[in-house]
Amino acid sequence: MPSPNSKHPVALTIAGSDPGGGAGLQADLKTFAALGVYGYSVITQVIAQNSWKVGEVEPVSPEMVEAQLNTLALEFAPRALKTGALANVGVVKAVARAIERLKLPAPVVDPVIVSSSGALLIGPKGERAIRKRLIPIARIVTPNIAEAEVLTRIRMDSDAAIREAAKKIIKLGAQAVVIKGGHREDDKYATDLFYDGRNFVELKGPRIKGGGAHGTGCAFSAAIAAHLARGASLEDAVRGAKSFVTVALKHSFKLGRGRALLDHFARG
């Protein structure tokens, strides 16, 4: 008989679905698997999308989201978790409430507000709930430039502004933040800014030509959670996630006429 305690580290994603597998919980599970972590998943919204378009979005009820979390916690608690698209204010509150009540690990919060194709995935009330209920319990928050602007109301037009936004997110209660620099105008580097309330660390990586890929933010936050589940320190988890996404982006590919897709299982 196998041991009731899994020998594999377990990470949990709480996110919306992407039937094309490039983003959302499907991409998170690929990331977990690629990094040697067993993946749990809780679905928050069913999204009819592909790599370049979001069609219909149907939220899962807050009660059902909480029921999924309750049932998973009965079996085995994850060592790390991440949140992605959370549908609406009710789901955000249900997730925050369950994390606290079930004593789950402080989450990696990917504040998904707008899809890469420009579709709104959560309204203003939901965004405010992320700021007030989820960020205060976060291990780390992983916004891109646009998301950080929404969360902090700071225009990200300089290095100083990005640092000020990082400080503001820490003041909201998060233990740490990494503001992703992939959308900044720099021909040579993609530079992310990590801040833990004490030190700023710039994480530079080569900018991969080709205009990016669908689901990079999902993969980045999922990779942080996977490395945390394996016992890495927070800064090392962020560095490992950046390396993972860089390799996956370097080997990205297209299946149709849409955006490029990450190769989650690429090596080197």
pLDDT the model gives residue 205 = 81
Does some domain include residue 98? yes
Mean pLDDT of the chain: 91
- Cβ atoms of 136 and 174 within 8 Å: the answer is yes
Does some domain include residue 259? no
* Secondary structure of the chain as H, E, C letters: CCCCCCCCCEEEEEECCCCCCCCHHHHHHHHHHHCCCEEEEEECEEEEECCCCEEEEEECCHHHHHHHHHHHHHHCCCCEEEECCCCCHHHHHHHHHHHHHCCCCCCEECCCCECCCCCECCCHHHHHHHHHHHHHHCCEECCEHHHHHHHHCCCCCCHHHHHHHHHHHHHCCCCCEEEECCCCCCCCEEEEEEECCCCEEEEEEECCCCCCCECHHHHHHHHHHHHHHCCCCHHHHHHHHHHHHHHHHHCCECCCCCCCECCCCCCC
Q: Please, what's the largest Cα pairwise distance for the chain?
A: 58
Name the nearest CA neighbour of 160 among 200, 189, 198.
200
Q: What are phi and psi of 198, to 5 degrees?
A: -125, -50
Look at the block and give the residue holding tokens 């094309």: 20
Does some domain include residue 205? yes
Does some domain include residue 264? no
Does some domain include residue 131? yes
pLDDT the model gives residue 248 = 94
Most confident of 4-8, 219-223, 247-251: 219-223
| pLDDT of 115 strictly over 80 | no
| pLDDT of 134 strictly over 50 | yes
Q: 150 vs 190, which has greater pLDDT?
A: 150
Name the nearest CA neighbour of 22 among 266, 260, 229.
260
pLDDT, tens digit (0-9, with 9 covering 90-100), for 17-51 = 999 999 999 999 999 999 999 999 999 999 999 88
Least confident of 79-88, 109-118, 218-227: 109-118
**Could you give the number of structural domains in the chain?**
1
- Cβ atoms of 113 and 16 within 8 Å: the answer is no
- Taken in order 54, 177, 252, 82, the sign of the CA dihedral is negative
pLDDT the model gives residue 182 = 61
Percent of the chain scoring above 90 in pLDDT: 76
The tokens describing 205, both together, are: 């990586």
Tell me the average pLDDT across 62-72: 98
pLDDT the model gives residue 2 = 47
> Range of 176's domain?
10-250
Does some domain include residue 143? yes
From CA 155, how far away is CA 213, in angstroms rounded?
24
Does some domain include residue 263? no
pTM: 0.94
Does some domain include residue 219? yes
CATH of the domain at 165: 3.40.1190.20
